[in-house]
Structure 1
Amino acid sequence: MKVLLFFIFLFKSTIFSCQEINKRKVIFVTIGKPWYPDLNKNLNTFSVSVNFQNRFAENFAYEPFYTFAKSNSYPVFFNDKIKLKRYLLSQKGYSIISNSAWSDIYTHSLGAKIHYAFINNKKWFFSFNFSLGYFFSKASIFEVEDFNYNPQTEEIYSYESSLLEDSFSSFFIGPGIQTNYSLTKNYIIGLDLNAHFSQLSDKKFNSTPEIPNYYNIAIIFGIKF
């Protein structure tokens, strides 16, 4: 009888241990491409984030995160005044304005997301989410304010330019969509789409409001535990 009970216990233990548990906690990083709608040019954009996600209920999860995002459209010769002047004087007519609309911005954000997951099983996680947090951002914009040129040949004779710089910090909010797939029991890969809307009250930079606003698409790499 004792032997029979032992084998029954062993059988139940084996069945339980073989069941794959839907793990609720995830640590992951994302690598992505932000798009700043208030910038004239979105070049050399990059984002990276570190995230911790706790799926505390079947349909809900919270996710603290840190994100760094940037865009830099300055040419490599920008700090060389001779090359910069030569480039600007080589433009034709009003093309000097569009071809010199350069900017640089980076943003550090610390916040948290709340997820509503309409798919949450051992293989797939799919959610709508909303984020809230605080950010610090610094930006610079170069622009040609005025220029003289020959209307016939469009040759540039002279120009006036300015470099505007500013930094700001405030709260941000943003909706998002996230999905990920469990490659194995512990590792996931996925996609994160989100928006970052700054709450700068009447703050303007270069007559363009809220430059820190951006949309981001990123790939997820993570570990479940």
Structure 2
Amino acid sequence: MSWGFELIDVSKQDHGRPLLDGVNLGARLGQVTAVVGPAPAATQLFRLAAGLDRPDTGAVLVAGKDIGRLRGGARKRVQRRMSVVFSGPDAALFAKLTVRENVEFGMRAAGRVPARRLSAVAREELDRFGLAQVADARPDALQPGQRRCLALARALALRAPLVLVDGLDEGLEPDTLRRVCAIVREEHRARSGTWLVTVRDPAVAELVADEVVELGHSAPSSAVMRR
């Protein structure tokens, strides 16, 4: 069986506070896997999968490589295959760039979209997230839900084979959330990428994912996978 992301007996503490304890889960290649659980544990799992943190024990495999053990250029080569969406009010957006420039900058750095197509792809992504009318604004002029959509639009524009999203349902109004879930499913059908997303609401997980992983709600968290 092929996995895009796999955590094998992973444990992680934060300043002595256990967040994950012996977690085993796999996100299958070509599927959307949703992790449902409390923010500290789910975000920690996201950071481990993205190669931003290392586990205290266990292994985190990304496309078969133990990203927690990779260093320097070897880790960056794996991370370049990913598109990552952070949680939080700014979602790691570039404050000094416009909405459109935020999307174009990511594509230019990733190098998967031809230069002549950057503007067109940026317009397409902004349009389907309802952001075309604010393309020339700065991120700090947007509503929180719009900033969240901008982060997702930038991620999808990268055309990465592996996509990680922390808090997919964070800060979105119900109508916007339904549209975002539909876009994720549409994008997955079109490009067959591998997605690992964390969500707080189990109903959202059922709506968007092929498989759902439930984290325990008391630390340390364990994982239970169900279809």
The two structures share one fold, judged by TM-score above 0.5: no
Structure number with greater Rg is: 1
Q: TM-score range by the shorter chain?
A: under 0.3
TM-score (norm 2): 0.19
TM-score (norm 1): 0.19
- Tell me which protein shows more strand as a share of its residues: 1
- Tell me which protein shows more helix as a share of its residues: 2
